A = this chain, B = another copy of it.
Amino acid sequence: MTTGRLFGLGVGPGDPDLITLKALKLLKAADVVAYPTGKADGGNARAAVAPHINGKQELLPLLYPTTAGPLADAPSYPQLMRDFYEATSQEIADRLEAGKDVALICLGDPFFYGSYMYWHARLAERFETVVVPGVSSVMAAPIAMDRPLCHRSDVVTVLPATLPEDELEARLSAADVAVIMKLGRTFPKVRRTLDRLGLLDRAVYVERASMDGERILPVRNVEPDETDYFSVIIIPCDAPG
Contact = CB atoms under 8 A, between A and B. Distances in A.
Interface stretch (A88-96, A109-117, A195-203): A109-117
A111 B139 contact: yes
Given A15-B22, A153-B160, A156-B158, A143 B132 contact: yes
Contact of A121 (B19, B117, B239): B239
A5 to B, nearest CB: 14
Contacts of A163: 153, 155
Interface stretch (A33-41, A58-66, A144-152): A144-152
A24 interface: yes
A135 B19 CA distance: 10
Nearest to A13: B133
Contacts of A82: 241
Interface in A208-239: 210, 239
Nearest to A170: B174
Given A139-B133, A143-B133, A157-B156, A121 B240 contact: yes
Contacts of A19: 20-21
A140 interface: yes
Interface in A114-135: 114, 117-118, 120-121, 124, 131-135
Could you say which of A25, A133, A241 has the most chain B C-beta atoms within 10 Å of its C-beta? A133
A4 interface: no
Interface size class of A (residues with CB under 8 A): 35 or more
A142 B112 contact: yes
A12 interface: yes
B110 A131 contact: no
A159 to B, nearest CB: 5
Interface of A: 10, 12-13, 15-22, 24-25, 82, 109-114, 117-118, 120-121, 124, 131-136, 138-140, 142-143, 146-160, 162-163, 171, 174, 210, 239-241
8 contacts: A18-B22, A111-B143, A112-B149, A118-B240, A121-B241, A135-B135, A153-B162, A155-B171
Given A15-B22, A153-B162, A154-B160, 19 more contacts: A10-B135, A10-B139, A12-B20, A17-B21, A109-B143, A111-B147, A111-B149, A112-B138, A112-B149, A112-B156, A113-B150, A113-B154, A117-B240, A121-B239, A124-B146, A134-B135, A136-B136, A136-B138, A156-B157
